[in-house]
Amino acid sequence: MPPALNGQLLIGAASSAGSAAPLRAVNPATGAQIDPAFSTATVADVARACTLASQAFDTYRATAPEARAAFLEQIAQNIVDIGPALIERAMLESGLPQARLEGERGRTVNQLRLFAKVVRDGHFLGAALDAALPERVPARPDLRLRKIALGPVAVFGASNFPLAYSVAGGDTASALAAGCPVVVKAHGAHPGTSELVGRAIQAAVAACGLPEGVFSMLHGDGRTIGQALVSNPAIKAVGFTGSRQGGLALVRAAAQREEPIPVYAEMSSVNPMFLLPAALEQGAAKIGAGFVDSLTLGAGQFCTNPGLVIALAGPALDSFIEAASTALHEKVGSTMLTPAIHAAFNEGVARLAAEPGVSPVARGQAGSTVHAGQAALFVTGAANFIANPTLEDEIFGAAALIVRCDDISQFYQLAEHVDGQLTASLFLVEADKALARALLPALERKAGRVLVNGFPTGVEVSHAMVHGGPFPATSDSRSTSVGAAAIDRFLRPVSYQDFPAWLLPPALQDDNPLKLWRLRNGELGQS
């Protein structure tokens, strides 16, 4: 049994019963409702959480790097300390297997610890100092720049990462690292998991002596509570991972505000894989089997799931299709995250199957639970794909479409035709050099991450990762939502002119007490 869940909202240091209609999680493996009921927030609850966040902002953003880093590490430790109860509850609510959730917990905790390191390094502050030139005509003042936190951030938990992209996930970790208080709208599919993690953060806030408004967590409907949150003047940025429809609704809500704010919505991507001819010739069977592993991993419920395969028609492609079909026939469907996601997957597969010019290639095996997703693979021709834009719509789950090209020129056409993506993969060998080089510029324009001879699932949390990309992959291609650079989303620069020493923030003081890398008159150094 998990620790007692009280089903309440976490507003600052308090637990609060809320007053709107309660919600319950559903076990997607059985379709049964799970106890307890969770209070949902009223618009007044949203306002209270935002006011507390606003009140906490100046104090929180002024915390010393060590204090802020220790807070992030305390959250990580508190999550670890929940123990198996967290994994059990998350399994119950998400249908995901234990090993996957344990791995995801590790990622969540490591992410928080990476951001603790980022905060201690201080490179994100972008500190720059331009010395005064009093003799110049006109005199140049002393100018010093650092980045400060944007303000309270609204974070929307994702369905597909109940730990790593939800309450204490990448958006929350990077916003807290930047110095922004966070108000989370928990995802309705895993309210119990959310409560456990939310309490871990709430306890860390208290243990670190921070103002209570640094963190709040609300349950409720995206259309009412989500909109109220994004519309609240205290909120200065939004982090979201989910559907295109959901993301665009938040973008529109933000556009209604008097003050525009950044909305970082990570939405839909079909992650095209381009199989270049020589590589396909040499490795059709191996690529086919690897592709099916990536396609069916976690029931295909990854933003980076490979939903589109582009290759030249011919015997090598036939071998690829044969290998993929054989592999797919072995794959037993596993439980999808929610009944609604499962239904949408089935509808998407049926819709794709009914499109003219689209032929079925293979299906996986049906799973043993009520909401198991049965993997599906289709094929079509390049001209048909280009003529019918709906063929590019993401089907969330293990469904993919192979696009058969008649000639190489269609590779270029397709690279230009596809929407913005989180990833694009090139399978190549040295004999494909000329084509790879010629395709790369288009792929750079279309995707946040370009892979060679690899499958897109598996997103490393590191410094050089980009999990982002042009619309509709995200609503703002200028940033990443995974990895150290995610902190940049929640910062803005401020310049300090002719400040006396006693008024300068430590990051900008002459003797560099934080030992930052700083740009001094345009030259990087640690002085």
Q: Binding of a copy of itself at residue 478 (CB under 8 A)? A: yes
Q: Which is nearer to a copy of itself, 357 or 513 (CB)?
A: 513
Q: Where are the beta strands (DSSP E) in 348-506?
A: 359-363, 376-381, 399-405, 421-427, 447-452, 491-497
502 φ/ψ angles, rounded to the nearest 5 degrees: -70, -10
Q: Binding of a copy of itself at residue 515 (CB under 8 A)? A: no
Task: Give every CB contact of residue 82 below 8 A, 6+ residues apart in sequence.
Answer: 3, 196, 197, 200
Q: Which is nearer to a copy of itself, 321 or 426 (CB)?
A: 426
Q: Binding of a copy of itself at residue 370 (CB under 8 A)? A: no
Q: Which of 50, 180, 303, 405 is catalytic?
A: 303
The 299-328 site mask, x for binding a copy of itself (CB under 8 A), equals ------------------------------
Residue 305 Cα distances to 3, 298, 359, angstroms: 34, 10, 21
The stretch near a copy of itself (CB under 8 A) out of 67-75, 273-281, 383-391, 480-488 is 480-488
Report the residue from 493, 510, 513, 527 that binds a copy of itself according to the rule CB under 8 A: 493
Q: At what angle do helices 315-330 and 277-296 cross, to 10 degrees?
A: 20
What number of H helices and E strands is found in the chain?
Answer: 14, 21
Q: Binding of a copy of itself at residue 62 (CB under 8 A)? A: yes
Q: Binding of a copy of itself at residue 437 (CB under 8 A)? A: yes
Q: Which is nearer to a copy of itself, 347 or 416 (CB)?
A: 416
Query: CA Rg, the chain, in Å?
Result: 24
Length of the chain: 527
Q: Which is nearer to a copy of itself, 143 or 408 (CB)?
A: 143
Residue entry with tokens 């005199």: 139
Q: Which is nearer to a copy of itself, 138 or 209 (CB)?
A: 138
At its nearest, how many Å lie between a copy of itself and the CB of residue 194? Answer: 27
Q: Which is nearer to a copy of itself, 264 or 396 (CB)?
A: 264
433 φ/ψ angles, rounded to the nearest 5 degrees: -50, -50
Q: Which of 266, 281, 392, 394 is catalytic?
A: 266
Report the residue from 20, 79, 87, 129 that binds a copy of itself according to the rule CB under 8 A: 129
Residues from 237 through 266 that contact a copy of itself (CB under 8 A): 251, 255, 258-260, 262
Q: By three-state DSSP, how is residue 405 classified?
A: strand
Residue 112 Cα distances to 46, 92, 291, 302, 461, angstroms: 26, 25, 31, 21, 10
The stretch near a copy of itself (CB under 8 A) out of 115-123, 156-164, 178-186, 193-201 is 115-123
Residue 266: active-site member: yes
- Name the residue among 450, 43, 476, 33 with its Cα closest to residue 254: 476
Known catalytic residues are 266, 303
